[in-house]
Amino acid sequence: MIERLRGRFVAALPPALRHRLRRLWLSLVPIAQCALAAGLAWWIAVNVFGHPQPFFAPIAAVVSLGLSLGKRWRRSVELVAGVTIGILVGDVLISQIGSGSWQIAAVVALAMSVAVFLDDGPLIPMQAASSAALVATLLPPGGIAGVHRAIDALIGGVVGILVVVVIPVNPAHRARRDAAGILATMRDAARELADGLTEMDIDKVSGALENARNTQGEINTMRADMSGGREVSTMSPLYWTSRHRLQRISATADPIDNAVRNFRVIARRTRGMTQRGEHLRPEIIEIISDISRGFETLRTMMLAKPGEEPDQADAARVLRTIARKATAELVGDSPLAETAVLAEVRSLLVDMLMTCGLSRSSAVATLR
């Protein structure tokens, strides 16, 4: 009952506000992780190591975690390496040449050069430059303070990793939710495209294309979260048993991405046909409408927990029913544009079947 009321309340909100609230909801756990890691890193640096102002510790903890689940381990290592390089270069150089405009430029250039020479990642040079600039402008160079700053960066990075291990984000849940959101968008886009082609409404067809194009950011987020989920399931003992499930979920990334790309091609081709006043065969429009139902089945499959329906086999049965309609005989006497649309529809169905766990050869065989 409460869940239903909450769903109605959220659905009644303006789309822009609903999107912002969803973004905040998805980020609550990473925000909590960053806050906890920052406070804990400061406490350890002050109370365990006796550092008077260890501001590098909470900064390192927050940067190493971030809001994205992906590559946190690498971010921590890069952060510590970049800060250490910047501090060492800044301490050595500023203590010899003094502080000023040209000295700052020289320190930043040298720190970034050393970082780029050692690693091709983007974070190390930025952290090296910012740390060197801090030493050149605000922090006294030399002495034990430089060593403390490097230790503080190490404390922050280690605390960030420990927080992920002890209080991890559910890796499977976030990845499934990302994929389900993309599939929901494609479900609506396919329905809108079918309606637009039936009514010869160029605005609806263009709207479906635009909605499909706007999913690229969500796809990138999905890939990052799937990568981060695999990382969490490797580091945290709480989710070691989820590794196989994460692998299965991650295997859907490429088919979903390819399905969206193929749908964009279909929408772009049919938009051109609609602009020219060319009607698409009703049987093909019906298949596109059925594809909307297929996307919805895939969405519910992604959200279903182990043992719940629909599972991969259930979704594959629905898609096979749709695929059997997309026969080459439909365009035996059709113009080239219509034949090309059916070819893309068949390719889209292959990608959707692969999202259900079928191999490409098995998915293609379904369409013969």
Q: Give me the pLDDT at residue 285, please.
A: 94
> Per-residue confidence at 2, pLDDT binned at 50, 70, 90?
low
Q: Give me the pLDDT at residue 28, please.
A: 79
Asked whether the beta carbons of 245 and 176 are under 8 A apart, the reply is: no
Q: Give me the pLDDT at residue 92, please.
A: 77
Q: Give me the pLDDT at residue 164, please.
A: 75
Domain ranges within the chain, ordered by starting residue: 30-166, 171-366
Question: What percent of the chain lies above the pLDDT cut of 90?
Answer: 35
Tell me the CA distances in angstroms from 140 to 4, 93, 128, 136, 144, one per residue in order. 59, 12, 17, 8, 10
Both structure tokens of 127: 């952290």
Q: Give me the pLDDT at residue 163, please.
A: 82
Q: What is the pLDDT of residues 272-305, one digit of tens each?
A: 999 999 999 999 999 999 999 999 999 999 988 8
Q: What is the pLDDT of residues 319-346, one digit of tens each?
A: 999 999 988 888 778 788 889 999 999 9
Helix (H) or strand (E) holding 61: helix 56-65
Q: What angle do CA 70, 76, 81 make, to 5 degrees?
A: 135
Q: What angle do CA 116, 154, 65 make, to 5 degrees?
A: 80
Q: Give me the pLDDT at residue 198, please.
A: 94
| pLDDT at 69 > cutoff 60 | no
DSSP label at residue 252: T
Q: Which of 123, 114, 21 is nearest to 65 (CA)?
A: 123
Q: What is the mean pLDDT of residues 296-318?
A: 89
Please tell me which residue, 44 or 142, carries the higher pLDDT value: 44
| pLDDT at 75 > cutoff 80 | no
Q: Give me the pLDDT at residue 315, please.
A: 93
| pLDDT at 11 > cutoff 70 | no
| pLDDT at 3 > cutoff 60 | no
Q: Does CATH number 1.20.58.220 belong to domain 171-366?
A: yes
| pLDDT at 202 > cutoff 70 | yes
Q: What is the pLDDT of residues 89-113, one digit of tens each?
A: 877 777 777 777 888 888 889 888 9
> Per-residue confidence at 236, pLDDT binned at 50, 70, 90?
low
